[in-house]
Structure 1
Amino acid sequence: MTADRLVLWRHGQTDWNTSGRFQGQADIPLNATGVEQARDAARVLATLGAAQLWSSDLTRTRQTSAALGEATGLEPRLDERLREVHVGTWEGLRGPEIAEVEPEAWAALRRGEDVRRSATGETVSEVGERVAGALVEIAAQAPEGSTVVVTTHGLAGRAGLCRLLDLPFGLWRTFGSLDNCAWSVLHRHHAGGYWRVAEHNVRPLSVRQTIS
């Protein structure tokens, strides 16, 4: 059994998103805008005929998945490997605050290096490995030829996508931002068994209008 289509869906907006705080694995819920984004996106995603719905176990992804669950009758299945990058002691801080307390790490991050998000956090390559590992298993257990929607996070989604495609780590940044409640679509190549990006950062018009 193997899915033919994976849809990587980022959660809706939170107050920490709008204030520019490093969210990481802090369990921050959707704000009112995020709830509306999830409902709008769910109406579109419901037309894909997904066989399964998976989600990170954090509140903001569970709330987002619930909107699609209500539209389709699918019960979200939780996997903690789909969580956002763990940022350790950077949690809740803004960029300038991190630059003040860890200037070298912040400068390296801005240069695109694979920086550990604080001494107790993760690197992007580590996130890519764990998310891609989850995606491989999720796709493999799905009904043959099916579509699976996976609700995850911005950085985790991009890093996991890059690793799933077996691309060099440095290319993860070449995928543009995965905005709040936007999604990427991957198709499995039947002959080669590898995954290809069909669409990236897709949003319905109603969601576009609420992104700042």
Structure 2
Amino acid sequence: MRTLYVVTHPEATHHVDGVVGGWHDSQLTPTGVRAAVSIARALRSQVPDGAEAELFSSDLQRTLRTAEEVSELFGVKPNLDRRLREKPTGRRGGRPQEWLDRRFVPPPAAGERMEHDEGVEGAETKAAYAQRIYAAMDEILQHPCEHQIIVTHGGSLTFVVTSWIRMPVESAGYASFRAPSRSITTLREDDYFHSRQVVNLGDTRHLDAVHAD
């Protein structure tokens, strides 16, 4: 049995400042740090004591700070991988969201979507985005570890899941797995059929502890 716990980082400064995230290296807000603590505790409660666990994270500050809370409770160092980053949205990070909204060209309802030009100079195509997430996932899944934790971004979650269920990259143009920030998505593969399940998507029940404090 293999279980992956995919964490979407909690509230970061770009959320409250109204700027585009992407590769802009924003930090967790105090609210985000409290949520990261809650995420770590929730994960610790789900993984049996003594079980082997691995931790992987995007290398941006908001994901790394989240991973650090998990690392402290599990006693494992995060493996940082820039391929787990969010989709970049142009060469200059930290632009106001309205700046991106004015330039963004949405993909067509039919036709080429993976190589579609979104109208923002320096932005990554959906194909390139998916391919790097798939490459990271291929390496992660080569590790024979029963419990693996991946700390990433909301946009990246879609391609973590499509990679997990072995959807070909070229077929992922319409895929969208939405989950709120600060959530945990649980993926599981059984040892008999080797079926890959999406056990839950975007679970935020652990946040009840934050609101109760």
Length-normalised TM-score, structure 2: 0.82
Identical counterparts, % of pairs: 23
Pick which of 192-201 and 59-68 moved more: 192-201
SS in 1 for 2:106: helix
**Per-residue CA distance 1:57-99 (angstroms, 9 max, x = gap):** 1111110001111112121111111111111246323443234
Residue in 1 that maps onto 2:187: 186
Map 1:81-120 to 2 at 5 A: 81-89=83-91, 91-100=93-102, 102=103, 106-109=104-107, 113-114=113-114, 115-116=116-117, 118-120=120-122
Change (3 A) 1:205 1:29: closer
Residue in 2 that maps onto 1:17: 15
RMSD: 2.6
Paired residues of 1:13 and 1:30 also in contact (CA < 8 A)? yes
Residue in 1 that maps onto 2:72: 70
> For residues 97 and 207 of structure 1, what CA distance do their matches in structure 2 show?
36
SS in 1 for 2:25: coil
Residue in 2 that maps onto 1:132: 134
Q: 1:39 aligns with which of 29, 37, 40?
A: 37
Residue in 2 that maps onto 1:169: 172
Note the residue ranges of structure 2 that are not aligned, 5 or more in a row.
none
Paired residues of 1:154 and 1:178 also in contact (CA < 8 A)? yes
Change (3 A) 1:55 1:207: farther
Residue in 1 that maps onto 2:55: 53
SS in 2 for 1:157: helix
Note the residue ranges of structure 1 that are not aligned, 5 or more in a row.
none
> For residues 13 and 185 of structure 1, what CA distance do their matches in structure 2 show?
20
Q: Which amino acid aligns with 1:27?
A: D
Give the number of the structure whose residues are more often helix, by fraction. 1
> For residues 83 and 184 of structure 2, what CA distance do their matches in structure 1 show?
18
> For residues 24 and 116 of structure 1, what CA distance do their matches in structure 2 show?
17
